[in-house]
């Protein structure tokens, strides 16, 4: 299996952010509704086997000037290299996780994203 297939399998049973099985707080529901509008980011994540709505953690850390600022984490992902890309209102970073156990995926993926309220 390639890394895309491994990620798809690893995250296949994860609940969607903004649903009762994950979290239905206002910040998660808002994120889930807005994130799919950044098509280049979504396409990139799908190419890696990741769905931005299946993140492990979604955190809205600031609301200012009509915008909400989020950090979104996938704690364990399969990847071949570290990389960072910017897509419209978001930056995605895949990096080696020094805390990963030998039998788990050894990278993390973080998305920093800003949405207009």
> For the residues of 10-71, what is the DSSP string, one character each?
HHTTPPPTTSTTT--SHHHHHHHHHHTT-HHHHHHHHHTT--GGG-SEEEEEEEETTEEEEE
Q: Is the pLDDT of residue 88 over 90?
A: no
Residue 116: predicted pLDDT: 94
C-alpha dihedral (26, 32, 49, 109), degrees to nearest 10: -50
pTM of the model: 0.90
d(CA 32, CA 56): 13
Residue 98: predicted pLDDT: 85
Q: Residue 1's pLDDT band (boundaries 50, 70, 90)? A: confident
% of the chain surpassing 70 pLDDT: 100
Per-residue pLDDT reduced to its tens digit, 23-39: 999 999 999 999 999 99
């Amino acid at each position: 299996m390639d890394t895309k297939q491994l990620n798809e399998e690893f995250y296949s049973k994860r609940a969607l952010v903004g649903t009762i099985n994950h979290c239905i707080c206002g910040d998660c529901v808002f994120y889930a509704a807005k994130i799919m509008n950044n098509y280049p980011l979504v396409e990139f994540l799908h190419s890696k086997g990741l769905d931005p709505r299946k993140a492990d953690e979604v955190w809205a850390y600031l609301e200012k000037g009509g915008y909400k600022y989020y950090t979104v984490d996938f704690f364990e992902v399969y990847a071949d290299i570290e990389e960072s890309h910017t897509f419209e209102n978001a930056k995605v970073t895949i990096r080696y996780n020094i805390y990963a156990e030998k039998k788990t995926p050894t990278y993390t993926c973080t998305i920093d994203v800003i949405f207009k309220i």
